[in-house]
A and B are shown apart, each in its own frame.
Chain A
Amino acid sequence: MKKVIRFLPLILVIALGVVLYRGLSLNPQDMPSALVGKAMPDFSLLTLNDEAKTVTKADLVGDIILLNVWATWCPTCKYEHPYLLEIANDSKLNSQVKLYGLNYKDERLAAQQWLTNYKDPYQFSIFDEKGTLGLDLGVFGAPETFVIDHHGIIRKRFAGAIDVRVWRKEFEPLITQLISERQQGK
């Protein structure tokens, strides 16, 4: 017993070291969204490409949705863009999952130019100039990507750029799960 007590401080220090070391590799931006499990908020906004076309929540809900928050002022969005194109061109994925854009606090012309220059991966982009839908979604930067299920429930929020590694780790399992949920008629 006494021997154990003698080593107790050493054990505690090692335990503390392990905890702190783990903390080094944690991403502080990786916060559980307050909206996961809740319905997508209502909105009524114009599309980016057509100033006359209004979109609402009803235009999105029904499919498994990826909602990608992007802007031309966001350098990471540019990094992410090629992978979004890859997702959009994946015909197998395409039949199951729809990718929409949320152009967040941006200038319309610049954003349209961006999509012309770098190609448009989105079904369409919602033009959220004042960031109202962004606020309701709890967006605090770009890029961010939301996964919304076929009932319109937000299932995941990811802050940061998507690439192959992130896609395989963060998105693929959830998408597979959602597809099987839908097939089972849940």
Chain B
Amino acid sequence: MIKINLLSSLLLMITIGISTLFSSNFVNASPVDTFEFNDEVTKVRFQALSKELRCPKCQNQNLADSNSPIAADLRHELYELLQQGKADSEVVNFMVNRYGEFVLYRPRVSSITYILWFGPALLILLGIIVVIVILRKKPVDKANLALKPEQQKKLQQLLQNESESESADSNPVDLNSANLNLESVEKE
């Protein structure tokens, strides 16, 4: 029993060892720069901005993710700007002036980005309007289905006639013969 426990714990250790080996490899796969920051706040700002800014070359990665040379340059530039004591908005303006609105993963609200910012809300609104219109249409249809007064009158009459004839000939055989008679009349 003890032997088995030992063996299983050994196996466990090996698996953990291998997995940590691989996970550390994954960490190494992302770009590694060594930037030294004077304080923790600048470090956090650097990390936040490099996630917020997009790499102009590899368009689906941010500066923090990308391995491309231009992303490395821009990370360096970002570091320099922060070391110079530039505010976040100044850094963002610096990048936008050179690479356009495109470098922002969250573009600023302007006439060209209205559709991005308000498009989804507009679509939801449109959807709600369509649903409301459809829901409101149904009762109107039901009202239309109801009979008009003159139709009601006619129906009443028909029903009355039926009940009168029914009470007159209560014998089903007679009724059948009457039907037969009717058919023969129609054929003639």
Chain A residues within 8 Å of B, Cβ to Cβ: 28, 31-35, 105, 131, 135-138, 140-141
Contacts and interface: CB of A to CB of B under 8 A. Distances in A.
3 tightest Cβ-Cβ pairs between the two chains A and B: A34-B100, A138-B98, A140-B56
Contacts of A135: 73, 77, 98
Interface of B: 56-57, 59, 69-70, 73, 77, 96-102
Contacts of A31: 56, 100, 102
* Chain A residues touching B, majority SS: loop
B18 to A, nearest CB: 38
B99 A140 contact: yes
Contacts of B56: 31, 138, 140
Contacts, number: 31
A137 B97 CA distance: 9
B100 A33 contact: yes
B171 to A, nearest CB: 50
B15 to A, nearest CB: 42
12 contacts: A31-B100, A31-B102, A32-B100, A35-B97, A35-B98, A105-B69, A136-B98, A137-B98, A138-B100, A140-B56, A140-B70, A140-B99
B73 A34 contact: no
Contacts of B96: 34
Nearest to B100: A34
A143 to B, nearest CB: 13
A131 B96 CA distance: 17
A39 to B, nearest CB: 12
Nearest to A38: B97
Contacts of B70: 140-141
A31 B54 CA distance: 14
Given A34-B100, A135-B73, A137-B98, 18 more contacts: A28-B59, A31-B100, A32-B100, A33-B100, A34-B96, A34-B97, A34-B98, A34-B99, A35-B98, A105-B69, A131-B73, A135-B98, A138-B98, A140-B56, A140-B70, A140-B99, A141-B57, A141-B70
Contacts of B59: 28
Best-buried of B57, B98, B100, B102 by chain A (most CB within 10 Å) = B98
